[in-house]
Structure 1
């Protein structure tokens, strides 16, 4: 129920636009690394100084027009240039829907191809984030086509899908980020019980560590992290074959501790004004995340917005259940 609640909030375009007006004054700087490129570069430099690399996500919501997708592409290319010019340790994460996947497949492919090409000039990696199930095979198709031309692109495997191991085997020669999964999917295609998802998550990590090219392990769960530490030691897996990943602003002490222990560590760094939907999905994915940032984020204005959001969500569910746009 709590997951449905936060997912509902993340889908509301009106509330997303309202949150933009407050910007980082609401305390969102705790989980979003700035609203513009100079600010995100500053955040990356601070993380790099602690031995932490970064993957940068330019946040964007509700992209259904070509001009919006083109603007997103151009901004991501500017980020690539800024990473290169500042010689920081970072690469790119992007969402195909932000670049036009819901508009036209070929249009989206060309947009991403431009990004991947520019990144390849600087030997920079580009990760295509996975979204909901209806975009799954389309995203794999994008990866298949791009990999015919470039070797600096990879994607994400979501552990809650029943067929996750099949997907992982299919792309074992790619750099892969393994996550539990943040979207609400049906029982026909995805595990619903947390224990089942956690068990599959561990299974996928172990399989890819033994068989894959490079594994990015995205988790804030110290139990999973400790399990991986023991597993790689037992199986003599070198540290240069994997990395731990966490979100910007979450479990900062643990991020630094892992980097100091000699593990490759990468922080997922989102930036931009469209922070609201991103933050709500993080709460839907793991409601405990609320406790990790509550003191920093939930000031008076934020509580007011979430309160209004809750009312709007509940009213929308009752009177206009199909009005909200699809999430990313």
Structure 2
């Protein structure tokens, strides 16, 4: 899976003095590597077993189900129109979550926008250099999660041309798969991070909380802290258009967040959206993407109906100065 360039990086833990004296402090297991076109960092306590091999096998299973960058994956076969593909539990869960959040957001989260992701130059297929309003309109007829279903473990598409792209939810979902595996091994204190998306449970043995850095939306590729946040049994995901964009020969700028309502990849004054909740990381990953498509004002209206979501929106005001909104 090709990464979205996100805002949050794991930076460590916040030191808090423990009230317990002479408590036995276990060293954590730390696993690092590459997956989904980005990097991962996993820290856990409670057991001293290295689950690196098992975790890599789980990554392979998620990739073989959901990666549009692997030609032999289930999603790639479905996108090519192959028949008789029986989808696995990973595909079905991501499909179900996508369908629910598609409805909740009135279509602003829509993984059937894949052909437009490719056309604008942010997917595995060739960019359409002659993309104009007529071509966008033509591609839009195949967009809509209400045009696809799963029946008897097979994906049924109203249009064979509909192209799935779960990259805006699958990275968070991969985190959930690993987190559930750790919990199945009796691990109650962990942090799983992939490419900036994070899921935490518990804390360090001495009571330290997990701390993460929220980046400034720097367009020059540098990283600096906008804020520091502590997470307790929460997932966090961010989406932003300030790092991953494309500028055409005539100077037009297109960002990687495709608006499923219009089919266009236009930049708005909303620079980043970070979502924190006691939900699966896949859910907050999807909401962050939807909010970037919605824009600032629609997101603020949506959040009135979702008090379980903590959201930080960084945007540029009329003077071009950075502002933030927190619900």
Q: TM-score, normalised by structure 1?
A: 0.23
Which has more strand, going by share of residues? 2
* Structure number with bigger Rg: 2
Q: TM-score, normalised by structure 2?
A: 0.23
* More contact order relative to length (CA 8 Å, sep ≥ 6): 1
Which has more helix, going by share of residues? 1
